[in-house]
Amino acid sequence: MAYRRSSLLFFLCLLSHTLIAIAAKSYYDTLQVQKGASDDQIKPYEVLSDSEKRGIYDRYGEEGLKQHAASGGGRGGGMNIQDIFSSFFGGGPTEEEEKIVRGDDVIVDLDATLEDLYMGGSLKVWREKNILKPASGKRRCNCRNEVYHKQIGPGMFQQMTEQVCEQCPNVKYEREGNFITVDIEKGMQDGQEVVFYEDGEPIIDGEAGDLRFRIRTAPHDLFRREGNDLHTTVTVTLVQALVGFDKTIKHLDDHLVDISSKGITKPKEVRRFKGEGMPLHFSNKKGDLYVAFEVLFPTSLTEEQKTKIKAILG
């Protein structure tokens, strides 16, 4: 049995070294770079080959990768022999991996103006959260038990047991606040999130959760957003509805949109102005603007006016 086990171990080690040697010879050919390629040339392959980094890059771009790296993301050493066996043979670790305790994510609904969502912008948000601070005394933990004697009276002592750890200093939670600058990207949709990694709720002996600002479009006086389209209502007089009108409306970035008409405008009529809607996120395209027209009728007419209208309209 022992001989069979030793033979299997020797075979696996030999196979792993062989595979590593083959892979090492072909890495530069696979990436199509020279042996003396700079780190900047190889970095894109490093990002796209890591599923976690690739997901962050696809969603948040290079800035998201910087935040991820600054918050401690991507830490860890190289692949060990156990990882190689697992990758080739589908096996898991022989011992149960230590589960990292993680604090709660904090989700904040952030009302962004249509102007910021149209042009891009930033918001300063005041945020309070718990901070771990050093505290006096010893902290209860699961490291070891310590026996001590407590005096409960003259000449009387009681033996006590306390869980302590000299390597784990005592800590306490304190509430602190600070301003956070949240960048709003053009075309962001309701429900999209701006994530600050490991800036959520802290937890003792674990990693802090994430702080997530969830975008929510704030109400606007003139425009209403539906996806990538904008909707608005314009009122014209009865005369303008019948004979036409020259009119413009000011857009979110102050450029003027010509909505003039030379013909008849019916009540509740809706006209589309292509490319005058919201920008698409990470795109040069835009949605459309839909203008609904309300016709303002006179409250009363004189007999003379009625006669003239009848003569004109029959």
The stretch 53-58 carries a mean pLDDT of 69
Structure tokens at 103: 């604090």
Note whether residue 98 is domain-resident: no
Query: What confidence tens digit (pLDDT) does each residue in 76-102 have?
Result: 444 444 444 444 444 444 444 457 789
Note whether residue 118 is domain-resident: yes
Q: For the chain, how many structural domains are there in total?
A: 3
Do 212 and 228 have their domain in common? no
**281: pLDDT strictly greater than 70:** yes
pTM: 0.59
Give percent of the chain above pLDDT 70: 61
Do 72 and 123 have their domain in common? no
CA–CA separation, 76 and 92 (whole Å): 18
Neighbours of 118 (CB within 10 A): 21
What is the CATH classification number for the domain harbouring 234? 2.60.260.20
Higher pLDDT, 104 or 25: 104
The stretch 283-307 carries a mean pLDDT of 95
The stretch 38-66 carries a mean pLDDT of 67
Note whether residue 74 is domain-resident: yes
Note whether residue 160 is domain-resident: yes
Question: Which of these three, 63, 89, 115, is where a domain ends?
Answer: 89
Do 143 and 189 have their domain in common? yes
Question: What's the CA angle centered on 167, arms 165 and 170, to 5 degrees?
Answer: 70
Note whether residue 181 is domain-resident: yes
- Please, which pLDDT band fits residue 74 given cuts at 50, 70 and 90? very low
> What's the domain range around 295?
224-313
For residue 65, what are the contacts with CB-CB under 8 A and spacing of at least 6?
47, 53, 56, 57
- Please, which pLDDT band fits residue 141 given cuts at 50, 70 and 90? low
Question: Which of these three, 201, 217, 233, is where a domain ends?
Answer: 217
Higher pLDDT, 74 or 246: 246
**137: pLDDT strictly greater than 60:** yes
> If you search the block for the tokens 């697992």, which residue do you land on?
86
User: For every residue of the chain, which 3-state class applies, written as one string?
Assistant: CHHHHHHHHHHHHHHHHHHHHHHHHHHHHHHCCCCCCCHHHHHHHHHHCCHHHHHHHHHHHHHHHHHHHHCCCCCCCCCCHHHHHHHHHCCCCCCCCCCCCECCCEEEEEEECHHHHHHCEEEEEEEEEEEEEEEEEECCCCCEEEEEEEEEECCEEEEEEEEECCCCEEEEEEEEEEEEEEEECCCCCCCCEEEECCCCCCCCCCECCCEEEEEEECCCCCCEEECCEEEEEEEEEHHHHHHCECCEEECCCCCEEECCECCCCCCCCEEEECCCCCECCCCCCECCEEEEEEEECCCCCCHHHHHHHHHHHC
Note whether residue 3 is domain-resident: no
Question: Which of these three, 172, 196, 217, is where a domain ends?
Answer: 217
Do 37 and 79 have their domain in common? yes
Do 229 and 207 have their domain in common? no
Note whether residue 96 is domain-resident: no
Note whether residue 100 is domain-resident: no
- Please, which pLDDT band fits residue 41 given cuts at 50, 70 and 90? low
Do 112 and 205 have their domain in common? yes
**123: pLDDT strictly greater than 90:** yes
* Cα-Cα end-to-end distance for the chain: 110
**148: pLDDT strictly greater than 80:** no
